[in-house]
Amino acid sequence: MLYGLLRKFTGRKPSKDTAKKRLQFALVYDKLEIKDTTLTDLQNDIVDVISKYFEIDKSSLQLEIKRDKDVSALVFNTPILCAKRMRT
Amino acid sequence: MEGKIIVVTSGKGGVGKTTATASIGAALALEGNRVAVIDMDIGLRNLDVVLGLENRIVFNIVDVVNKRCKLTQAAIRDRRIENLFLIPASQSDNKDVLTTAGVERAAKILKKEFDYILMDSPAGIEKGFENSIVSASEAIVICTPDVSSVRDADRVIGLLYARSITPKIIVNRIVPQMVAKGDMLSHEDVMEVLSVELAGLVPMDEQVVIATNMGMPLVMQNNSKAGQAFRRIAKRLNGETDLPIQVPTHKTGMWNKLSQKLGFKK
């Protein structure tokens, strides 16, 4: 049978190509997904670390993931009240 | 020498895990190995009916793990194929009744008794799946050439790698005519997306339905294309690694060959 030839004339794309492309995209996005608790856990850990060195306003901090076309970025915003004095 | 525990899994349900477990298990036994096939789908057992052994169940895997019986009491010997044994799942228990520690303990005994132990994992990635893979050293992931099955296979492959098990994949229910038309993912497409080693390719086969109706192991039917494919998979697992993987094909006519030559088709 001449499916290949027929397709050349009619210009219909094989449906499996669509399937493959959709699949590849789905897998990439699946891997970018994170658990609900991950962001809050991360936020708590970051606050702990920063609090060792700075006084920060814990109520007004923000943590978010910004997704652009090409890259995903983790953005953490916090007002610093003052630096802690280190003993050493 | 200790036996090998191989888990058969897929993530998605209904892609042929149980048929594959029964067929590969039977084929490994036909090769002269002592084989146990174990149904890990607690509460929804099916390996027994696929093998036609549902009338002979006394004890089950939960009894073995919880030490209510000896391994030899629970293992049902197949009368048609020498050295093939089934340990069925429990149908009445809750699916959370098994613990990974319990399964690991039972696995140690199993490895002493058998050359190959095939674990038929339930669908999903919850506790039943965890129990099935906890003692496995090898894994076979079954998928069919469709987006949902391949996506789930990818997830399961990731989980297996996280436990240092390198999986191999079987692409099941290939319809060569549709692949030729470009309306079904070819095994190359699936391999490219998943990038794991191939264990074998199994064509869509009506004989699977008939064999399951009768409760006959598929690999005993010589006219079954899928059965033959599973026999080859078993041989490769059993050490005949130079046995080539056969790609399912449909009858190739003159036009087909011509269009291949002309480069319209791969």
Instruction: Write out pLDDT tens, residues B52-105.
Output: 999 999 999 999 999 999 999 999 999 999 999 999 999 998 888 999 999 999
Total tally of structural domains belonging to chain A: 1
Is the Cβ pair B180, A1 closer than 8 Å?
A: yes
Tens digit of pLDDT for each residue in B29-42?
Answer: 999 999 999 999 99
B218 neighbors B211 (Cβ within 8 angstroms): yes
Q: What is the pLDDT of residue A15?
A: 93
Whether A48 maps to a domain, the answer reads: yes
Q: pLDDT (tens digit, 9 = 90+) per residue, A21-59?
A: 999 999 988 888 877 788 888 888 988 898 888 888 878
- Searching chain A, which residue's CA lies closest to the CA of residue B180? A3
pTM given for the model: 0.83
Residue A40 lies in a domain: yes
In A1-88, the DSSP E strands lie at 54-56, 62-67, 72-77, 80-83
Interface of A with B in 46-85 (CB under 8 A): none
Task: Quote the crossing angle between the two packed helices A15-32 and B187-194, to the nearest 10°.
Answer: 20
Q: Number of CB pairs < 8 Å for A and B?
A: 60
C-alpha distance from B203 to closest chain A C-alpha (Å): 17
Q: Is B239 on the interface with A (CB under 8 A)?
A: no
Mean pLDDT computed over B214-237: 95
Third-level CATH fold of B4-261:
Rossmann fold (3.40.50)
Q: What is the pLDDT of residue A87?
A: 65
Q: What is the pLDDT of residues B145-173, one digit of tens each?
A: 999 999 999 999 999 999 999 999 999 99
Chain B residues within 8 A of A24 when measuring between CB atoms = 193
Domain ranges of chain B: 4-261
Q: Is A36 on the interface with B (CB under 8 A)?
A: no
pLDDT at B256: 62
Sheet bearing B76-77, strands edge to edge: B76-77, B84-87, B35-39, B116-120, B4-9, B138-143, B167-174, B197-203
- Whether residue A71 is contained in a domain is answered as yes
pLDDT at B214 (0 to 100):
94
Least confident of A43-52, A62-71, B6-15: A62-71
Structural domain including A48 reads 35-88
